[in-house]
Amino acid sequence: MTGTAATTAAVWAGVMLIGGIGSVLRFLVDRAVARRVARSFPFGTLTVNVSGAALLGFLGGLALSKDAALLAGTAFVGAYTTFSTWMLETQRLGEERQTRSAVANIVVSVVLGIAAALLGQWVAEQL
C-alpha cells in the first residue's frame, strides 16, 4: 500500500472503531438517563443530542486536521447523536396525542442544542 492508501485505510478503520464506540456510548447514556427519569418524554435522547452538540461545538472550535475532524466529529459525535431517534420519538409523542410534549421535544432540543454547540465552541476558543 502506498502512504496515501495506508492513511485512507487507517482513517476508515478509525471511523468504524470510533463510530462503534460512539453508538455504544449513546445507548448507555440514553438507558442511564431513561432509567433515572422514567417518563414518557425522551430525556435520554435529549441528553445525548445536547451533549453531542456541545462536543461538536467544542471540536469545531479547535484547529483539527481533516482526518482528526472526520474521526472525532463525524465518526464519534455522528454515531453518538441521533437525529432519527429524536424524530421517531417526536412522532410517537404526536401519535399518543401528547402534542405539548412533541412540540417541547422539538423546541427544547433545538434551543438547547444550539446553545450547547455555541458553549462548546466558546470553551474551545478559550484554550
- The count of residues in the chain is 127
81 is in an annotated binding site: yes
Q: What share of the chain is helix, strand, coil (3-state, %, to 5)?
A: 85, 0, 15
78 is in an annotated binding site: yes
Longest Cα–Cα distance of the chain, Å, equals 58
**Binding-site residues, please?**
78, 81
**Binding-site residues for Na(+), please?**
78, 81
